Amino acid sequence: MRNAVTKELTELVQLENNAFESDRISRRSFRHALNSTNSTILVAVYQDEGDDHKEGALVRADKIVGYALLHLHQGTRLARLYSIAVSEAVRGKGVAKMLLESCENEALSKNKIMLRLEVNEHNLPAIRLYEKLGYRKFGHYDAYYEDLSNALRMQKRIRHLSQERVSVALPWIQQGTPFTCGPASLQMGLTALIPSYKADPDDELQIWREATTIFMTSGHGGCHPMGLALAAKKRGAIAEVWLNEKAPLFVDGVRDALKKDIVTRVHTMFVKECIEADITVRYFTMTLESLLAAFDSGYLPIILISTYRMDGKKAPHWVVLSGYDEQCIYVHDPDPSSDAHSSVDCQYVPIAREDFEKMSRFGQSRLQTAVLLSAK
């Protein structure tokens, strides 16, 4: 077992094409993974034991007989086994087990606590292997593969924790534009809490129109927490805003004087509208413990974070708190970033508590804010 190298690209593609009839990884994707700091390709290489050159030998020495593609998500404690394949000549000889254990060790070395995967529900040998190694089913996807067969979602806690995760059943909704993370997060919460609410792309844009700050650091404005709270109440939920400052939000990131004035005026209007709508706005230093206490009381917190630790960009981004355990908090992220290869990677994303404390402060003012949702 070792890491793959670039010169083995052709051999990896050949193994992939021989192993699968559909859903094949392209040569381009293999090359990207080989050069990515957030992905690892581990290979099983057949070693020469002195008799492999005999006539009729199934495998030549130094040949790749299996690979596993592992994605290590930046800024989170989540790893994902994206694909694993073993040459037909050595199937049943424990190669897949060794590859999977190597993936777990690699993920552990990168300080990950959870390894996830998807498997075709008809692939019983693979499912038995995963279950034998401690993987448990936690979800299901209909028509996940190109042939429309279904997938089971499985995961394993590779670093032991003494406490089980506390979580809620929460639908995942992808943001439809680069600037509507707030509306998509609100739609997740509303769908979970309000049975009559039906999320759709048009309402995502409508929520943004109701909640936008108009301008922000660059491009289209994001959503103000008070604007999201007002939109939530309009759609049948109870909403409360938590803030650690009373000054107009996001002004520090806007340079143009006219834009600063508009952002300030919008903030003032949202404050007035929240008073008129009887929406509680609490001003205090928000702690993770206070968020988790609210979560335990039945609230769904929508939290503003900085994406710097996830993508190197200091951008404001809304996510939904979907669970926690002794070491991590879990979020539903509406934005499938470049290293999130499916919606699975955006649900119950584990973030270390100490990392979250830093991520939940934005900008020069170290802004902390959340919108807490509950049903009437």
Tell me the pLDDT of the chain (376 aa) as tens digits: 999 999 999 999 999 999 999 999 999 999 999 999 889 999 999 876 555 445 445 556 678 999 999 998 877 888 999 999 999 989 889 999 999 999 999 999 888 888 999 999 999 999 999 999 999 998 888 888 888 999 999 999 887 654 556 788 899 999 999 999 999 999 999 999 999 999 999 999 999 999 999 987 666 788 999 999 999 999 999 999 999 999 999 888 788 899 899 999 999 999 999 999 999 999 999 999 999 999 999 999 999 998 765 655 668 899 999 999 888 899 999 998 644 456 777 888 888 888 888 889 887 788 999 999 999 7
The half-sphere exposure of 169 on its side-chain side, counting CA atoms within 13 A, is: 5
Furthest-apart CA pair in the chain: how many Å?
A: 86
Q: Are strands 166-167 and 237-243 parallel, antiparallel or unpaired?
A: unpaired
| Sign of the torsion formed by the C-alpha atoms of 223, 319, 280 and 244 | negative
Tell me the C-alpha distance between 149 and 142, whole Å: 7
Structure confidence at residue 162 (pLDDT): 45
Q: Are 220 and 229 in contact (CB under 8 A)?
A: no
Name the DSSP letter for residue 208.
Answer: H
Dig out the tokens for 243 from the structure.
């803030």
Tell me the C-alpha distance between 37 and 259, whole Å: 38
Structure confidence at residue 24 (pLDDT): 94
Mapped onto helix, strand or coil, the DSSP state of residue 311 is helix
**Strand ranges in 244-363 using DSSP code E only, listed in sequence order:** 281-283, 300-306, 316-324, 328-332, 349-352
CA 83 to mean position of chain CA atoms: 18
Is the pTM above the cut of 0.85? Answer: no
Q: Compute the residue count for the chain.
A: 376
Tell me the C-alpha distance between 150 and 123, whole Å: 10
Nearest to 9 by CA among 59, 43, 60: 43
Which domains does the chain carry? 2-160 (3.40.630.30), 181-375 (3.90.70.10)
Tell me the C-alpha distance between 338 and 178, whole Å: 13
Percentage helix, strand, coil for the chain under 3-state DSSP, each rounded to 5: 35, 25, 40
